[in-house]
């Protein structure tokens, strides 16, 4: 896929990218440097790392998959930012085996907490990687979105199972090990010593709208993107979002 956000991909990334870009701009002003040091834990093939590098920042991607890191290297080279993107094999629970503590202006932790044994430790490690006044971008699967999706698909027992399961799973075949509410993610961030700057619902409608409508109806994609942006900060919609994004910031 091209790094110019394709329409379908932008439904999944646009809201988070705009929040992240604004946070990076604030970090640039507070740090007094044009180029920040950014850590992307679980950054995979560089969906956020490469665009961040295009802004001039130096990005270290930590990911357990050698294949993903290989794809990241190729993608960064194609985008002309190979000198600003570094891939390292590792994971967030063993983060300081591969990167230094307190060495980054911003840390991205996207799609990671669902898969680790101890989400609280993962967030603490992410925070420990930050410099004073650093920012944490946290993205994780939302409980309410899964409940709604199973119910709309007619799987009512599975929807209820997800609602009552401690990990938010709808059954044995559920590919996601853990889901969160907005309150749970905010507590993880504040519990690690950060101030919760903003909470956003991501993919509130995008996963529910038939793909054929979005792809064929003139103007539908743009209208849906604008709708997603409009509801992202409204707490009433956080409970039905497929993903939840929390921005945490260190105060000097």
| Sign of torsion over alpha carbons 241, 133, 33, 41 | negative
Query: What pLDDT score does 173 carry?
Result: 94
Cβ atoms of 39 and 108 within 8 Å: the answer is yes
Q: How confident is the model at residue 215 (pLDDT cuts 50, 70, 90)?
A: confident
Whole-angstrom Cα distance, residue 249 to residue 252?
A: 10
Query: What pLDDT score does 119 carry?
Result: 96
Lowest mean pLDDT among 8-12, 120-124, 136-140, 218-222: 8-12
The string of DSSP codes covering 24-39 is: HHHHHHHHT-SS-EEE
pLDDT digits (tens, 9 = 90+) for 62-78: 999 999 999 999 999 99
For the chain, what is the mean pLDDT? 91
Residue whose pair of structure tokens reads 């004073």 in the numeric block: 132
pLDDT digits (tens, 9 = 90+) for 71-125: 999 999 999 999 999 999 999 999 999 999 999 999 999 999 999 999 999 999 9
Q: pLDDT exceeding 90 applies to what percent of the chain? A: 80
On the question of pLDDT at 5 being above 70, the answer is no
Query: What pLDDT score does 3 carry?
Result: 39
Q: How confident is the model at residue 252 (pLDDT cuts 50, 70, 90)?
A: low
On the question of pLDDT at 251 being above 80, the answer is no
Query: What pLDDT score does 6 carry?
Result: 46
Whole-angstrom Cα distance, residue 153 to residue 159?
A: 9
pLDDT digits (tens, 9 = 90+) for 216-246: 788 888 888 899 999 999 999 999 999 999 9
Residue whose pair of structure tokens reads 């490469």 in the numeric block: 50
On the question of pLDDT at 210 being above 80, the answer is no
């Amino acid at each position: 896929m091209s790094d110019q956000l394709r329409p379908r991909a932008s439904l999944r990334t646009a809201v988070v990218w705009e929040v992240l870009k604004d946070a990076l701009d604030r970090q640039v002003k507070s740090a007094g440097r044009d180029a920040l040091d950014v850590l992307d834990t679980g950054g995979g093939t560089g969906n956020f790392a490469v665009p961040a590098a295009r802004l001039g920042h130096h990005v270290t991607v930590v990911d357990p998959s050698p294949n993903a890191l290989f794809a990241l290297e190729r993608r960064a080279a194609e985008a002309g930012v190979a000198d600003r993107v570094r891939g390292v094999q590792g994971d967030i629970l063993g983060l300081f085996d591969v990167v230094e503590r307190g060495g980054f202006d911003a840390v991205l932790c996207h799609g990671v907490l669902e898969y680790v044994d101890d989400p609280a430790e993962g967030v603490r490690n992410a925070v420990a990687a930050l410099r004073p006044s650093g920012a944490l971008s946290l993205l994780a699967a939302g409980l309410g979105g899964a409940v709604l999706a199973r119910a709309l698909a007619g799987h009512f027992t599975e929807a209820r199972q997800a609602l009552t399961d401690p990990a938010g799973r709808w059954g044995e075949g559920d590919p996601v090990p853990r889901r969160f509410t907005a309150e749970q993610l905010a507590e993880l961030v504040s519990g690690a010593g950060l101030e919760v700057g903003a909470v956003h619902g991501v993919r509130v409608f995008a996963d529910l709208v038939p793909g054929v409508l979005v792809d064929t109806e003139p103007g539908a994609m743009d209208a849906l993107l604008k709708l997603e942006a409009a509801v992202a900060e409204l707490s009433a919609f956080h409970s039905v979002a497929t993903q939840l994004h929390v921005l945490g910031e260190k105060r000097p």
